[in-house]
Amino acid sequence: MTKIVYFNASEITRDYYKNNPLPIKAETVFMEKSPADLTAEELKTVSDADVISVFVHAVDVGARVLSQFPNLKLIALRSTGYNNVDLSYCREHHIEVVNVPGYGDSTVAEFTFGLLIDVTRKISRSFRAVQEAHVDTDHYLGFDLKGRTIGIIGTGAIGRYVAKIAKSFDMTILAYDPYPNPKFAEEYGFKYVDLPEMFSTADIISLHCPLTKENYHLLDEAAFAQMKKGVVIINTARGELIDTEALFKALSNGKVYGAGLDVLEYESALIHDDLYLSALNVRESDSLLRSLINLRMLQLKNVIITPHVAFNSIDAVHRILKTADDNIIAFLNGKTVNSVLNK
């Protein structure tokens, strides 16, 4: 009988599968931990898995971990991102890897605007002032989004939904994407521009692109130098798209008005994720430096940091779980959908 092990299985995950059991014969095991965190005794109970399913918080799904599952045929990710999986090892050992694309376009886009409004209207700062009984309204002067220009980097499902929301706010929309969607741009009345034009024009820059070796530190010191003074930075994509040190400097010297960050560099395991660091050719000392800067950035009044929860609505989580199971069922029935090995 096929053995499926669900790692990072929260109470929500367990409840979902209890109410929506797989329509196939399989042994299912639920583990709260990530596969890399198992004790020797725990590993013995699941090492014969044919399928493992991991959530976004499973940082290390590299060769060291995967070699402990000799029967493994499928990794069913409960996430869109797959940069934490050693795809070369999977190809070499004929292990299929599938993900969940497109589950959170509206969810993440809504959260993006939540961060944006919080930064521009200083909502969290105002609330903390009320809690501390030390209110001075002059300190919480913000600005309207109507009439402002937003630059959207990445016009996949999430980026396009951000554009839809921005249009309803009566904002001017600019976009950058290596693979533009002219039909959508025409429908929503915006134009694609190159990054230098966006940097010099946009009042807000919001990131919605995947992380690749090519766009690592897309927003670096040179990029911030091209931006308008007082720009707002929003990142709900991947932390490594931004050079943390450069952002900290820009926030500190006033070049950047404020930032809303749901992701940070090396947020999950800042100096222990060897697979991820080596894939990006990043030195461990660099990750340590940026983790310290992240701690300093938490102290800045013009920054809002949330713990990678833009995806985290009950609706989106249920979509993730359903798609992950659909992927598993399809694979066990001889058909592979949502494979990432050819991307």
Residue 259 CA to residue 141 CA, distance in Å, equals 16
What tokens were used for 197? 């034009």
Q: Report DSSP state, residue 61.
A: B
Question: Could you give the angle at the alpha carbon of 85 between the alpha carbons of 160 and 28, nearest 5°?
Answer: 100
Looking at residue 126, its amino acid is S
Question: To 5 degrees, how large is the angle CA 156–CA 162–CA 163?
Answer: 90
What's the rounded Cα separation, in Å, for the pair 139 and 116? Answer: 18
One-letter amino acid of 91: R
Query: How many whole angstroms from its chain centre is CA 28?
Result: 28
One-letter amino acid for residue 23 of the chain: P
Contact 145, 171 (CB under 8 A): yes
Taking residue 71's Cβ as centre, other Cβ atoms within 10 Å add up to 11
Q: How many angstroms from the chain centroid is the CA of residue 272?
A: 19
Q: Which two tokens stand for residue 172?
A: 């001017």
How far, in Å, CA of 263 to CA of 266, rounded?
9
How far is residue 118's CA from residue 200's CA, in Å, rounded to a whole number?
Answer: 23
Q: Tell me which residues are annotated as active site.
A: 238, 267, 308
List the strands of the sheet with 51-55, edge to edge. 26-30, 2-6, 51-55, 74-78, 96-98
Residue 113, φ and ψ in degrees, nearest 5 = -75, -25
